[in-house]
Structure 1
């Protein structure tokens, strides 16, 4: 057996699994561990079988793996089709290489190019790139678990980009009232009610906009088929419930599309927001004022439907008691107390 590392960092395995009289196998691997594992497997096959059959070359491309991922697992996900589209967009950028030839360096190069291009265009693409990395990693992990991919995950050791925590913009009470006033005069008769739902329960705009009549009952608004798949039910006031259902369809969706009407209302109210925060500003406004009013972080986590408490922690600094110990336990105060004592 001959196992040599090549100039490109890969490992060439050259051996005869069934001995010199049998088939000759030459195969390149990304890592030494993969090569050694393959050699052990093929020698075991040769010893247990009456005759050894040389393994066929894997000619699948990354796009083939993406489709296999979708057929095996992706179709079960609410966002499965959307994720497949994003995976294929990345794969096209990579020129759809043979899966067995795909390496972590290929994806790192994609990350660098994407980062530079989007920054030049004025975007902050770190979060988007991290999502695509997570999708690609998950694709390989699913195929490994099902046995459709026999090698290691080539992205196993690729790290996410470090992101500077983005400040979440929220409306002041004055701005909120200005916006509601503008929305109340809008031609779209649904936009005001949808905005009030978001401000009352911290809903995403799309969640509130797509509510149906059966989602409003017993003094609560019930969100199903949410972004992360978690259903949640949140109490609302009697006045808001009446406003939502009065003069609206008794069956099916309560509201028509009204996101454009929200954006127009923000513009008329003179409210400028960072890129990408227009549709979420009402959700951030609810969460921010909830914490400033003394709300509980764990309760907020359940209301917003976050998968992890870390996501909700972004609002922790707004709590009245947040880090108040700094005022009483800093060395200047402590030293004065000791002198006084």
Structure 2
């Protein structure tokens, strides 16, 4: 008999759809057993070599290990990303991966937020975890879709990008000269301010990448090479610095200390990045083109660069000449009348 009930109430399937292809499995309900039998018969007729895959009971940490082996090893920040993923898995009790639910994750997220973790951080971590499932499915490592596909990232208030005025730039560099012992800090900061690059990109420069009136960045966040023009005087200054002091060393902490000593009030997480924001902001305020800025900053999407568009002198000026209020200036006395 293909399906029979066992003494403990479970249902056993013992079927041989074609000669030499026998399948046995036990289920809690008769309906599940019947569906399995029907599936086996249909699949074996279509594909004689077909065999039901065993249920995937691997836990999340084991899946993260497979993701690291198959894909993660090629990432530049694999150690930090893997650490984040493993802490998430442990925080959720290392569940069986295919049984992870959106409710289980959002409960974990709520606890993280209550503990003071920022919304931006939990959104980034959700992206990492979803990427693990999506990549493993694409590679055929798992046969189920991302269980967190319907979990939406938190909607966050867009942060104001802080940039330095000319006076504040002078204050900052005075603090660097006064409080930083390493000579590299001032030069790295100067390169960031002159090219809009990230601190790590400037700090990783070598002499051969400063030539022909440009700085050539190779190890970038987007993995794309880009070149940013600089004037001849700055190029000579950078090359002289390499000759006298050697390659740049890690001086990020030194810069952060200078910012603290300068008394400048900067948003959290924007210390060294304020130089990049300052370059982009002044570039647009001085009449720069938004598409050119995108190439200089190395943004893959124009949406990221558009954060600086409002600083352009003529940005959205048409609202004054084309908006409906132009025909109703008497409402606020702009036509010379009194309200």
Q: Give the TM-score category using the shorter length.
A: 0.7 to 0.9
SS in 2 for 1:87: helix
Counterpart of 1:4? none
Counterpart of 2:6? none
Alpha-carbon deviation of 1:327?
1.9
Alpha-carbon deviation of 1:336?
5.1
Q: What are the residue-to-residue correspondences of 1:40-79 with 2, within 5 Å?
A: 42-47=40-45, 55-79=53-77
Structure 2, unaligned stretches of length 5 or more?
3-10
Q: Deviations over 1:24-44 (max 9, x none)?
A: 34389xxxxxxx998876554
Q: What are the residue-to-residue correspondences of 1:136-175 with 2, within 5 Å?
A: 136-175=129-168
SS in 2 for 1:221: strand
Residue 194 of structure 2 corresponds to residue 200 of structure 1: yes
Counterpart of 1:243? 237
Report the RMSD for the aligned CA atoms in angstroms: 3.2
SS in 2 for 1:315: helix
Q: Deviations over 1:232-278 (max 9, x none)?
A: 11111111111111142599x72112122212222232211111111
Alpha-carbon deviation of 1:53?
6.4
SS in 1 for 2:242: coil
Specify which of 214, 228, 233 is matched with residue 227 of structure 2: 233
Contact 2:13/2:37 (8 A) holds in 1:
no
Counterpart of 2:257? 264
Q: What are the residue-to-residue correspondences of 1:2-41 with 2, within 5 Å?
A: 16=13, 18=15, 23-26=24-27
Structure 1, unaligned stretches of length 5 or more?
2-13, 29-35
Alpha-carbon deviation of 1:204?
0.8
Alpha-carbon deviation of 1:158?
1.2
Aligned residues: 316
Normalised to the residue count of structure 1, the TM-score between the two structures is 0.83
Inter-partner Cα distance in structure 2 for 1:40 and 1:206: 59
Inter-partner Cα distance in structure 1 for 2:23 and 2:181: 80
Inter-partner Cα distance in structure 2 for 1:40 and 1:320: 70
Residue 112 of structure 2 corresponds to residue 114 of structure 1: yes
Q: What are the residue-to-residue correspondences of 1:296-315 with 2, within 5 Å?
A: 296-315=289-308
Inter-partner Cα distance in structure 1 for 2:28 and 2:277: 54
Inter-partner Cα distance in structure 2 for 1:222 and 1:135: 30
Contact 1:74/1:81 (8 A) holds in 2:
no
